[in-house]
Every structure is written in C-alpha cells, then in structure tokens.
Amino acid sequence: MNPLWTARAIALATGGEANTDFTAQGVAFDSREVTKGDLFIAMKGEVADGHQFIDKAIVAGASGIVCETTIDFPHVRVADSAQALNALGIASRARSHGRIIGVTGSAGKTGTKEALFAALDRFRPGKAHRSVKSYNNHVGVPLSLARMPSTADYGVFEMGMNHAGELAALTRLVRPHVAIVTTIAPAHMEYFGSEEAIADAKGEIFEGLEPGGIAILPFDSPHYARLRAKAERHAAQIISFGLGEGADARAVDWLPDGQGGSLVTAQVQDALLCFTIAQAGAHWVANAMAVLAAVKAVGGDLPAAGLAFAEMGGLAGRGARHRVQVPGGHILVIDESYNANPASMAATIEQLAAESGDRKVAILGAMKELGPDGEAYHAALAAPLVAADVQFALLVGEEMAPLAKALEGRIEFAHVAAHSGATARLKDLIRPGDVVLVKGSNSVGLSHVVTALTNGDY
C-alpha cells in the first residue's frame, strides 16, 4: 500500500523541517482518534494545546508528528501547526486526479454526502473518499482533504458555515468540480437575519468551482432563482433537482415500501431509474435527486447509486432507526438527535405521522442560533405535532417554552430543562408499541436520551 504521506512530502507541503524519514497512512488532530500509522498534527486550540497530547498520540501508534517544537520522535517541525494542516489539505487537493464534489445546505448535508460516497464507492470500490462525521469547518475540511488518497477517483466533501465568507474560503480549498446546495432553511438566523442572506452565504460554494464546473440546485426552494443567479456567475452548467415538475433531476413518483423507506421512480435528465431508498421521508427522496444528478455529472453509474440507496443504513443522530425490546413488546426509536432547524423539524415530524405504531411520542430539543424569531419558530412546531397525531411531546431546553405554551390544551406534553430531565421521565413515559422520535440541536445532548432508550437504561 502506498503511504498517504511521507515526511518529505509533509515538509515540502508545509515548509517545515523533518528530523527523519517516516510515512503515514492517516491524519488526525485529536489524539483520541489516532490509530496506528497516523500522522498527528499537534495544534494549539482555544481550549487545549495539542502539543500536550503528543505522548498520548505516540502511545496510540502515531508514526509521525507535525508540531511547533523539537521532539525526540519522528516529526516535521513547522512555524504554525494549524497553517500546516491547511497546507496539507491544499497539497492533497493539488495532487488529486479525482472528481471532487462539494456539498452544503441548511439541512441534509451529511446524509447527502454519505449517500454520494456510498453510490460512488459501490461503482468504484475503494476509490471514493469523503469527509467523515461532520468535519465541515475551517479545521475539518483541510483535515478531510489531507486524508484523501492520491489514488482516489472521487472525493466528496461537506462544507458548513454560520457566518458570511466562511464557505467562500472552504470551497476555494476544496475546488469542487460539482457543487451541491441541498436546501435553504432558517438555520443560524442569529448571524444572518434572513433566509435570503443564508442563501447568499450558501451560494458562496460556487465561487470555488473548477473551470467547467457544475452547480446542482434545489428546484423546489423559494430561493432557487437567487441561488441560480449566483451559480450562473461561476458554473458552466446548472442542474436542478427536486420533486416539482420542471426539475432536471426529479422524483416522478414515490410511495412507501412498507419497511420505512420509499420506492422511487426518478427522471435524471435523459435517464429513468427505479430504485428503493432505505431512509424515510420526502426530504430523503428530494436529496436523492441531488445525489443522482451528481453521480451522473462525475461519470458514475446510476444503477449502482440506486442499489446504494437501498443498502444505506440510518446514520447515528440523523435518522438511524432502532427497534428495541421493552417489557411487553417493543418500541421504535428514530434517532435525529444531531441537528435541528425549523425546516428539518417540520419534515421529520411530518414523517413521524406516516409511521405505524400504537402511539407516537416526540422528544424534541431546542433549536439553536435562530436569532430574535426563535420563539416564533419554536411555537410554530405545534401545528405539525398536532397534524402528525403525536400523543405526547417531551420538550427539552428553555427555548422550548413557547412551544409548551402553544401546545396547551392540544396534546399532552411535558417540558424539562435538560436531557437528564428527559431521561428521568422515560420510565413513566415509554410504552410497548411506541414510535419515539428524538430530535434536537446537538448541543442539547439528546444523544444521551437515545442511548438510554436503546440500552433500556431508564
């Protein structure tokens, strides 16, 4: 196996000085994630200094270190480790021959990225690379680039932002051949003030497109025209996707498959494809159209992509489904605990309505960074909860107070301050036959509630 990096290549990319020769098969900046053969980049952060964890990284199996000091271990000494990581990402992108896809959006970024990887990996096994977890910021993106093998035929990178200008910088690192915007929704409103401003910030992804690049846009979005105007300044080709008639990649028809997913017939420009999506919800059907459009754009195989959708399991925190045995029967736990904004909340609650079970329970955490309209956005969730025939809502976080007020006299609910309070109520709340949706912003910590539910630890 060819090494991912050699000491010489690292020194050349970063302008650093290697004390000896070594090779690395991976890259990490968190000592807890180091595995045998990794390059550990010791960076100074806001909370901790990675140089304090060099010994831990060595014990974990690191083959070399990038650091700002001299150590008695194979290393490349640099002036600034954070800049060195950025430089490694740039060098990795420069040596790549692969087709690169960038993904952003207010919701659905990670799922779309994972589906793209699955589709391309099924077509060319071992030749597709993607960013892991939600490594989509100014540190995560260069790390994901630095981890890309030079032999990869495809690279899929998620890019996020919560301030104007951030995405422009990230996309110029990634330099995608294809750039996707999944959707525009009121996320990070605290920093933007309007959905139009969010659309403009998401549109920055097109600024990094390679010559001849392709922009893939959400046809059903009220901001489609705004995004298209931005894309026309940077893209050689624009492809729309969605559910509405007129989209270039469109779900012509779909219906439940009886197992929580959907049977879909899609028209992708001149190609017709029938396939199954294992994931539930109309939002997955829509995002699948973006995936198919991108697969076609980079020369992938649409039938292989269709098979990949059928095989995809749920992502932890983003739709994973757990059938759990409880005394007297079982419950279904739907784990959407990683992220939440008004649009994704409404879509997920709507999907809950289609689930079959004796009782529907929604455990909902606060939505963060919504700005001055946060109270209204939370209160507005009452309507979809009632429409979905939710029998009980357990609300978590002080921001949920407006929703609690809006639900009075409409459905049964309880309001607690933190995830620990939600876990404490599970024993009296959960019954056999329940379908339990758990969704909220990651900082609320509802993953602890999911763990308690799936382990029966309540």
pLDDT in tens, 371-423: 888 999 999 999 999 999 999 999 999 999 999 999 999 999 999 999 999 99
174 pLDDT higher than 80: yes
- Which residues fall within 8 angstroms of residue 59, CB to CB, at 6 or more apart? none
φ, ψ of residue 52 to 5 degrees: the values are -70, -15
| Whole-number Å distance between alpha carbons of 56 and 95 | 31
Per domain, the residue ranges of the chain are 5-79, 96-311, 320-455
User: Which range has the worst mean pLDDT, 143-147, 201-205, 351-355?
Assistant: 351-355
Decide: 239 and 269 in contact? Cβ < 8 Å: yes
pLDDT tens digits for 113-147?
999 999 999 999 999 999 987 789 999 999 999 99
Decide: 297 and 178 in contact? Cβ < 8 Å: yes
Which pairing describes strands 262-268 and 271-277: parallel, antiparallel, or unpaired? antiparallel
pTM: 0.83
**Residue 261 binned pLDDT confidence (cut-offs 50, 70, 90):** confident
| Whole-number Å distance between alpha carbons of 62 and 32 | 11
- Which residues fall within 8 angstroms of residue 428, CB to CB, at 6 or more apart? none
Give the CATH superfamily of 96-311: Mur-like, catalytic domain (3.40.1190.10)
Of 309, 321, 379, whose CA–CA distance to 345 is shortest?
A: 379
Decide: 422 and 450 in contact? Cβ < 8 Å: no
17 pLDDT higher than 90: yes
326-355: average pLDDT: 92
223-237: average pLDDT: 98
Q: What is the pLDDT of residue 314?
A: 73
**Residue 258 binned pLDDT confidence (cut-offs 50, 70, 90):** confident
Over its C-alpha atoms, the chain yields an Rg (Å, rounded) of: 23
| Whole-number Å distance between alpha carbons of 33 and 40 | 9
| Whole-number Å distance between alpha carbons of 249 and 22 | 47
Q: What is the pLDDT of residue 45?
A: 85
pLDDT tens digits for 278-325?
988 888 999 999 999 999 999 999 999 999 999 987 778 888 899 999
| Whole-number Å distance between alpha carbons of 150 and 146 | 10
Decide: 111 and 54 in contact? Cβ < 8 Å: no
Phi-psi region of 177 (alpha: psi -120 to 50; beta: other; left: phi over 0): alpha
Q: What is the pLDDT of residue 55?
A: 96
311 burial class (0-12, 13-18, 19+ CB within 10 angstroms)? exposed
Pick the CATH number of 320-455 from 3.90.190.20, 3.40.630.30, 1.20.1440.230, 3.40.470.10: 3.90.190.20
Q: What is the pLDDT of residue 458?
A: 85
Q: What is the pLDDT of residue 206?
A: 98
Decide: 104 and 169 in contact? Cβ < 8 Å: no
Q: What is the pLDDT of residue 319?
A: 85
CATH architecture of the domain covering 5-79: 3-Layer(aba) Sandwich (3.40)
Distances (CA, A) of 241 to 42, 187, 238, 250, 374: 42, 21, 10, 6, 30
User: Which range has the worst mean pLDDT, 55-64, 66-75, 163-172, 191-200?
Assistant: 191-200
Q: What is the pLDDT of residue 347?
A: 87
Q: Which two tokens stand for residue 22?
A: 């070594």
- Which residues fall within 8 angstroms of residue 245, CB to CB, at 6 or more apart? none
62-91: average pLDDT: 97
User: Which range has the worst mean pLDDT, 140-149, 242-251, 340-349, 445-454?
Assistant: 340-349
437 pLDDT higher than 90: yes
Of 339, 320, 357, whose CA–CA distance to 434 is shortest?
A: 357
What H or E segment, with its residue span, contains residue 435? strand 434-439
Residue 306, SS3 per DSSP: helix
Mean pLDDT for all residues in the chain: 94
